[in-house]
Structure 1
Amino acid sequence: METFSSPVGQGGLFLFQFLIGLVIFVLMLRFLMRVAHVDWRNPIVHFVAKVTNPLCAPVNKVLPSRGRWDWAAIVTALMIQGLFVWVIGLLTERDFGVAAIVLASTTEIMNQLLDMMFWLIIIQVILSWVSPGYNPNTEIFNQLTRPILTPFQRLIPPISGLDLSPIAAIVSIKLFQIVVVGSIVQVAQGLL
């Protein structure tokens, strides 16, 4: 469509993608905070909860949270991403089928969640070098990465006091993205 070839159209599309990406980022952060059992007294956690509660409330009525798993955040993110893909199809005059929209939405959410885990580990490692010991401002990163790193820490004990589990976790996350999510993306692209 010619509207996206103009700078104004491209700027509008960028802004739309940015806003949708920001909403999905906050929903994925909500999901990870619940899984990690992050301290709910943290102001960042309060902010994320207040911003996402209106979006997740309708889904929470149908699919209430159980324990650490906030499925409403994931389902809401999938619905928003699916709507985004559908709107892009309308704007570009392409007819995406339901299967293509579901696969494209699922892979995008999986990629965003895995990217978030990757960057949380990187940030946590850097903060552990810069600010070792307990710091209430950086503790949220320790809490968010603990469920990710714990299985790797069981497999790889510290060597001379150096924890190599973040490297194994990062490699595993990226391999999963390339092999598993990449395979699903290929299937989705075949449907588009």
Structure 2
Amino acid sequence: MSPTTQAGLFLLQFSVGIIVFALMLRFLMRATYTDWRNPIVQFIGKVTTPICAPFNWTNKLGPRWDLAALIVAVILQAALAVMIGWMTGRSFSAGFISLFAISEVLNFLFDLAFWLIIIQVILSWLARSNSNPNLDIFRQMTEPMLAPIRRFMPDLGGFDLSPIVAIAVIKLSQILIVGTIAQFANTLV
């Protein structure tokens, strides 16, 4: 593969990755009822609303789940697979493209949840989130993931081990779910 093709693939993957990242942030912010008055949340909403607008009818299924963001992310990942095939001279089956797109979106969601928890843990050590409302969104987005775990964890005198358990569950789920889908997709190439 030529350096020009490699550079083109990098730019394509990077561009789609940024857009899908914003869409997954939008999805998680809505799923966790993050405060929409926050400037960061408003920015993500304004950036992603134009591309989600054609699929907003799916949001009538429930206010918590932004299915429009998921649908657009899957479509973008499918388009990326087609473009990668075209740029590398390979052709992929429709089944492979579909499963690739779904597995990549799930991978983004799991990775985003993982990093949100890591960032929240670090911020909890360094700063009080009530001093900066922009930092509070990390707590708002991770609390729904950590609260159910805390109910089953014994009190350890101020040490919260729920992030460790959540990270383990996220990574195990990622390996099992995304790995299984990706393995099956590879049989369809």
Into which bin does the TM-score normalised by the smaller protein fall?
over 0.9
Amino acid of the structure 1 residue aligned with 2:162: S
**Aligned with residue 27 of structure 2, among 15, 21, 31:** 31
Asked if 1:43 corresponds to 2:52, the answer is no
Amino acid of the structure 2 residue aligned with 1:102: S
State the SS of the aligned residue for 1:112.
Answer: helix
Task: State the partner residue of 2:165.
Answer: 168
Q: Tell me the alpha carbon deviations over residues 98-122 of structure 1, each in whole angstroms, 9 at most, x when there is no partner.
A: 1111110011000110000000000
Q: Distance in 1 between matches of 2:112 and 2:86?
A: 29
Task: State the partner residue of 1:110.
Answer: 106
Give the drift of 1:151: 1.3
State the SS of the aligned residue for 1:138.
Answer: helix
Q: Distance in 2 between matches of 1:167 and 1:110?
A: 20
Task: State the partner residue of 1:187.
Answer: 184
Task: Trace 1:57-136 onto structure 2 (pairs within 5 A).
Answer: 57-61=53-57, 63-65=58-60, 66-132=62-128, 134-135=130-131, 136=133
TM-score of the superposition, structure 2-length normalised? Answer: 0.95
Q: Distance in 2 between matches of 1:58 and 1:68?
A: 18
Q: Distance in 1 between matches of 2:65 and 2:14?
A: 26
Give the drift of 1:6: 2.1
Over 3 Å counting, the alpha-carbon distance change for 1:157 and 1:138 in structure 2 is farther
Total equivalences in the alignment = 187
Give the drift of 1:133: 5.2
| Mapped contact 1:34–1:69 kept (Cα < 8 A) | yes
| Mapped contact 1:120–1:141 kept (Cα < 8 A) | yes
Q: Distance in 2 between matches of 1:102 and 1:162?
A: 43
Q: Distance in 2 between matches of 1:170 and 1:141?
A: 15
Amino acid of the structure 2 residue aligned with 1:180: I
TM-score of the superposition, structure 1-length normalised? Answer: 0.93
The alignment's C-alpha RMSD in Å is: 1.2
Instruction: Report % sequence identity.
Output: 51
Q: Distance in 1 between matches of 2:9 and 2:28?
A: 28
| Mapped contact 2:114–2:167 kept (Cα < 8 A) | yes
| Mapped contact 1:121–1:170 kept (Cα < 8 A) | yes
Over 3 Å counting, the alpha-carbon distance change for 1:131 and 1:95 in structure 2 is same
Task: State the partner residue of 2:151.
Answer: 154
Over 3 Å counting, the alpha-carbon distance change for 1:10 and 1:36 in structure 2 is same
Q: Tell me the alpha carbon deviations over residues 150-178 of structure 1, each in whole angstroms, 9 at most, x when there is no partner.
A: 11111113311111000000000011111
Query: Where in structure 1 are there 5+ consecutive unaligned residues?
Result: none
Give the drift of 1:81: 0.6
| Mapped contact 1:34–1:68 kept (Cα < 8 A) | yes
**Aligned with residue 138 of structure 2, among 136, 141, 160:** 141
Give the drift of 1:180: 2.1
Q: Distance in 1 between matches of 2:143 and 2:84?
A: 37
